Structure 1
Amino acid sequence: MFFKPALAVAMAAACWAAGAHAQAIQAIATPDAPKAIGPYSQAIKAGNVIYVSGTLPIDPKTNVLDKDAPIEAQTTLILNNIKAVLAAEGLTLAHVVSTTVYMQDLNEFAKMNETYASFFTGVTPARATVQVARLPRDVKIEIGAIAVKP
């Protein structure tokens, strides 16, 4: 029998995932960020990992969404909302290891990117950015994040 590194990695990942699910999983909610608009949590804590749901540019104080606001304003509001969710667990954006950015129009990438960059100092998280056909409530952008609690 030959040693198959890919199989060993897959088995190790499966064992790790099984252990992570054995730990307590809890929902994170804060009134300082918009309430979920569907059957999902603002974030989930699994072990020391925080999974922040895709976040829309909704003002948590007024529950108002201005889908026609510039991409910079929508990006700012989203990242402030993500900060609020993380703060509920005593974390900051410095704990974010990965983000996924969904945009309606990648022609606005440079504007989004400039605003996004202003929120992260030091090591910036890994990121994927994709253009999508449509986003909930016809917003221009949605961002999800993964953070690790030390």
Structure 2
Amino acid sequence: MIFDSLDELARAAGTELGVSDWLVVDQQRIDRFADATDDHQWIHVDPERAATAQFGRTVAHGFLTLALIAPMTQQVMGVDGVSMVINYGLDRVRFITPVTVGSRVRARVELTTAQAVPGGLQVTRTVTVEVEGAPKPACVAESLLRYVR
């Protein structure tokens, strides 16, 4: 959904904006994230050892799941006529269901609130990262963005 203005975006507060495409979380992505963050815990990067553990295979880092919110939510929403979008941070974040290697995830995006701030608009989005076939989501996060005119 592309909004034509910040006013149009603000009017959408309290609504679900949509759902992203499915994204496969493969071992290569997990390994690249481990390299980028220097977090090489075996549960993420050692398929042989992980096969004998609780989940039977490697598991994506929780922060990888969180980082995937950015590209997935960009599929769901955008705003024309702004000079900049600032990731203002996160409020409540919960990792509920592990994302095992080979899983498909997608983001369901709700525009929770919109508040005028000097020079623009701050929004809170509730982003639910769903795992295909899982009864509970992988992650639920309140993502804050500032749109600057």
Name the structure with the higher helix share: 1
Name the structure with the higher strand share: 2
TM over 0.5: no
